[in-house]
Each structure stands twice: as structure tokens, then as C-alpha cells.
Chains A and B, each alone.
Chain A
């Protein structure tokens, strides 16, 4: 299975994505520069994290007009697998592929931490090997990760179980997650659009052994 990792000027998780995907059996990842116009050679698309176009104007606001985005949007609508993480989430929101937008963290701080996400949908391409209810620990690192949508859209997303707030998983706050200061900013949002997995978290970084060891104490 061939993955395209889109490189925008300012992407910085692209190498993590390539390393993580190429480290798995049967998966191959290749860089695709954002000036390309076709993704026909690939089975899946990854929009990596980072600061595309320096986050000027708004995160993802300029990147969404890159030539490759036309192909990304049409392929996503046609059912190709799309994984958007961190800045990729912001770009897909700006591109109008997802409802809502990401705004500045309520704490005004850059959050760099580990969050726990729960798999709520198991018949979904990205979570097929995880039974429902599996908890996944993964890193987050973002300054504009507070998901905003109007009340109606939020209700719709919640009803369809497409949004998984990390904070709702545990009765008591996890020490590593600053729940009180920025509840919405640590929402590890997982919105599925047929074949689209969108996370503010950075699962590819969880594949680096030293990251997991440092944060989980294991």
C-alpha cells in the first residue's frame, strides 16, 4: 500500500510520517511536494504536522490553496484514505473538508504533551485492528488546537461519535494533561469523514520508542 506524505513549505512532521509508515510491513511512503497536482499513484494520503507557510494569516489558510489540495479534496471525497494530523487537521478544516475550525488554545500556551484517545469506531479503515474502547496514548504538540464549531455542528459530530475528547475518558485528570487550563485544546479530535482520520495528536511520533518511554515511564 502506497502512502503519499504531502510536503508543504514549513511541514516538519513529514520525516516522522515517512519513518513511521515505512517501518510497518507492507506500507510504503513517499514525499509529494505541494506543487504536484495528482495523487493517482497512491492509495492513501497523509497531511503531516508542522507550520505550513509559517502559519501566516491563520494555520493552514495559505496551504489550502496549494495545487495538491485540489487532488487531496477530490480523492478524499472519492473515498481514498486520508490521514490529517496536527497542521494537517488545520489545513483540512481551512479547505472546508471538515466542519469547524481550530483556534488558539484557551491556555494561550503551546501544548506539548501526551494524550489518551479512545477508539469509538472499529469498522473504520484506520482502527480496524483496534477493538472498540482501545485506549491509545500519543503525543500532542500544538498552539492552535482548540476545535471550534457552532453548537449544531458539534452536536452532530458528537451524536455520530466522530469527536473523541481526550478529557472525557478518565474520571480524574491525568497529571500530564493540563485539563483545568485548557480543556478544549487537548481534545484529541478524531473526526471520520468516510475514510478520513483527523487528529490533532501526532500518532507517528508514538512510534519512536524513546518518545513513548520518556512520557509513559515504561
Chain B
């Protein structure tokens, strides 16, 4: 039963678990998921579920530009060579950020790009790459 709760701790499945608790494994397997069409949902829960469904996960990688010396990367490269891997040619160190945003649309994404340029990276010394995670919560 505990496992069932753990399969998806989202707004949608919380509602589902609260409504019908399976008593055996066989019953769990045979169970039909309730329809998630708007008319079949509890109105109180559906409002929340919609919001949870629209969380956008964004990954931003900020790297120093090729022309900018990366002393940290060089130090790590040297350490790797000393530790028995003389093949290491180059190490560059950047930043990786995971961002969660409520809602999902092109306008939000373009605003995110604006903040990537203004705050998350400095265009003089860094490049950024923004990737959208398609998986919904």
C-alpha cells in the first residue's frame, strides 16, 4: 500500500489514492485509473491538479567562454593527470542550475532567457544553455 502511494506523489495521484485504497496486489493491478477528464474530478482538487501538471523544469548550464582562462579547470586537469590519467586534455568548469517554474508557455521561456542573460550568466565571460525538461510532474 505504501508502495502505491509512492508511485506518484503528485496532485493527481494523491486524489486517486485518497478515493480508492486497494486491499491486495492483484486488486491494485486490475484497478482502472479514474478518468482525469475535468468533469470526472472533484472540483476542489482539480484546481490544484491543473497547477501541478503545469510545472516546467528547466536546466541551465553556464560555461566560461573559450577565450576566458579557467584556472579552476586547469587545476583539476593537472590533478587528474597526476592521479594517473595523462590523457586528460582539458577540463572546463561551469555551473549547472535546475529551475522549476509554475506554468508552461513560450512567453515564460522567453522571460527565462532574458534572466539567463541578465542574472544567471555574464555574457562578457560566459555562455549559457537552457534546456527544457519535457517530463511533467
Contact = CB atoms under 8 A, between A and B. Distances in A.
Interface stretch (A12-20, A68-76, A103-111): A103-111
A57 B72 contact: no
A106 B71 contact: yes
Q: How large is the interface on B (under 10, 10 to 19, 20 to 34, 35 or more residues)?
A: 10 to 19
A146 B69 CA distance: 10
Given A57-B119, A103-B125, A150 B71 contact: no
A58 interface: yes
A65 B72 CA distance: 27
Contacts of B119: 57, 61-62, 65
A148 interface: yes
A108 B68 contact: no
Given A108-B72, A108-B75, A101 B122 contact: yes
28 contacts: A57-B119, A57-B120, A61-B119, A62-B119, A93-B124, A94-B122, A99-B124, A100-B124, A101-B122, A101-B124, A101-B125, A103-B64, A103-B69, A103-B125, A104-B72, A105-B71, A106-B69, A106-B71, A107-B71, A108-B72, A146-B69, A148-B68, A148-B69, A148-B124, A148-B125, A149-B124, A150-B67, A150-B124
Given A101-B124, A103-B125, A104-B72, 15 more contacts: A57-B120, A58-B122, A61-B119, A93-B124, A101-B122, A103-B68, A103-B69, A105-B71, A106-B69, A106-B71, A108-B71, A148-B68, A148-B69, A148-B125, A150-B67
Interface of B: 64, 67-69, 71-72, 75, 119-120, 122, 124-125
Interface of A: 57-58, 61-62, 65, 93-94, 99-101, 103-108, 146, 148-150
